[in-house]
């Protein structure tokens, strides 16, 4: 009986440690950022995506960094402004992750740059 209680206590402690470390890693990776740049269509302008997708181009250290916006209501609301070759200066707030070597931004706020 004592061995069973000891085993369950150790297992619960390990489970808690693993879940806490995963939560900390997710929080560090999903820190909210605000960027300002030129929004274009990834398909119509950049010819890099198979379907229309908003991309914000930002200049960092003399290089252009492309932030591919995930499709959601916030990013889709401004797509008509940039589709078919147009661009628009915008300020976006959201979380950035890296997928397949690309910066992917999940926007929570997107507005014309001031």
List, in order, residues 6 or more apart from 46 with CB less than 8 Å away. Answer: 40, 55, 66
Low-confidence stretches of the chain (pLDDT beneath 50): 21-28
pLDDT of residue 24: 46
pLDDT at 25: 47
The C-alpha atoms of residue 92 and residue 111 are separated, in whole angstroms, by 7
Prediction pTM value: 0.72
CATH topology of domain 32-112: OB fold (Dihydrolipoamide Acetyltransferase, E2P) (2.40.50)
Break the chain into its structural domains and give their ranges.
1-30, 32-112
């Amino acid at each position: 009986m004592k061995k069973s209680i000891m085993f369950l206590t150790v297992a619960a402690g390990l489970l808690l440690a693993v879940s806490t470390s995963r939560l900390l890693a997710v929080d560090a990776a999903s820190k909210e950022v605000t960027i300002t740049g030129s929004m274009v269509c990834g398909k119509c302008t950049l010819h890099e995506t198979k379907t229309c997708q908003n991309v914000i181009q930002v200049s960092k250290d003399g290089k252009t960094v492309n932030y591919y916006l995930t499709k959601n209501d916030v990013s889709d609301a401004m797509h008509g402004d940039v589709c078919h070759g147009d661009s628009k200066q915008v300020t976006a707030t959201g979380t950035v992750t890296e997928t397949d070597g690309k910066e992917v931004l999940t926007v929570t706020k997107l507005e014309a740059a001031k």
